[in-house]
Structure 1
């Protein structure tokens, strides 16, 4: 009987231990979700309307209207490159129908690990204009003579002058800019190989700046201009 009681006690302790672990895991997940959910708190007033979506403990994405146009902002963690501190990229998209015959993608400091970029699917490699910041890789679906390089010239020079600017994509559906919002904590990554972004928040000035630049590209594309080399 005593042995049976000991077995029951052991089972009860095991169940209690597993329940405690489950509770801790649930608590930690909720805390992580809540912390990541604050990413856009400081910039929501910028938008005429907005909707936040967040799956489980993922970073939230924002869809809304800015300057009268539909926009989408998606945070994305890039921890693919080995021995490189992970980045939290912002994929900032202004959705607007543009008089653009195809697609052109400009990618800074290409590492061939940019899984979020459509560059690999574009067949034409375009020579980077001499006056543009380097290194920028240009891919498109048509020759340079058919691309609005002259229209894009001032926007490329301004956006990629910032070392945190990563990509500019222009298609008939609008403009997307990719920008580094945060770098992961170096200590956590080097020791534990974890991508930890402590108290990550998006300053309103940063979000406004990237959105405005994308909007200006759209505006100049709508006005049209001389196509060809910048």
Structure 2
């Protein structure tokens, strides 16, 4: 094989490789766009006026809108912290309305490592648990000595019975639940370090369920405070 032929052959291989990589990248972008469109359609099934208000943070998509006369926010977060065994995709569901508490109440399930979605690790005061809270839950607040209606909260923890709900946050400005949508495929992440998720789409039924749970909890806390006043 002449040098010219060898050069042409090598060039053809390089071109073919470049075209294949470009095709893979384009296919990856198309999959991401299709997944985002599917998630947005699912969100709007429950929150008809949901608007994408994402700020460009990598791995985070945020929608805001109204549900049952309340301002709400949905957010998906891809957590790739090195302290996790596998990357995770979380769903954060929030009602952004006033709650009759005087400080932050944060219940985290199995808080073994830091997370990208919560300030739980920065809350310095651990609360004793009243009966009815999961054994794996740890309660913290940002203000020592603050009392919370733990009996009411404990009566509204049904989403935490399945092992996928991770956090319940209650603040004077609202409440949220964080839910594990999926963990990355172990094989692909172990070999290629790619966080690929299977069955990580947003389920409208789940969104509705979590919003109802938060709304009922908020109403119960506010009603109790009004009765005590």
Same fold (TM over 0.5): yes
Alignment partners' CA distance in 2, 1:30 and 1:83: 26
**Which whole-Å CA distance do the structure 2 matches of 1:141 and 1:48 have between them?**
35
Deviation at 1:174?
A: 0.2
Determine the structure 1 residue equivalent to 2:23. 24
Aligned partner of 2:39 in structure 1 is 39
Kept in 2: contact 1:36–1:60 (CA 8 A) = no
Structure 1 residue aligned with 2:92 = 91
Deviation at 1:24, TM superposition (A): 2.6
Match of 1:214 in 2: 214
The alpha-carbon distance between structure 1 residues 98 and 195, as it changes in their structure 2 partners (threshold 3 A), is: same
Greater relative contact order (CA < 8 Å, ≥ 6 in sequence): 1
Is the CA contact (8 Å cut-off) linking 1:97 and 1:173 kept in structure 2?
Answer: yes
- TM-score, normalising length: structure 2: 0.81
Q: What's 2:120 paired with?
A: 119
Runs of 4 or more, structure 1, over 4 Å off, are 8-19, 53-59
Write out per-residue CA displacement over residues 3-62 of structure 1, whole angstroms, 9 at most, x where no aligned residue: 9x99x9799869956863674365134213223312242342212411135659856422
Q: Which residue of 1 aligns with 2:109?
A: 108
Return the TM-score normalized by structure 1: 0.81
C-alpha displacement of 1:74: 0.7
List runs of 5+ in structure 2 lacking aligned partners: none
Partner of 2:155: 154
Conservation of the 8 A alpha-carbon contact between 1:106 and 1:169: yes
How many residues align structurally?
223
Match of 1:185 in 2: 185
Question: In 2, Cα distance between the equivalents of 1:198 and 1:35?
Answer: 14
Please tell me whether the aligned partners of residues 74 and 91 of structure 1 are also in contact (alpha carbons under 8 angstroms).
yes
CA RMSD of aligned residues (A): 3.1
In 1, the alpha carbon distance for the partners of 2:154 and 2:108 equals 14
**Structure 1: any 5+ residue segments left out of the alignment?**
none
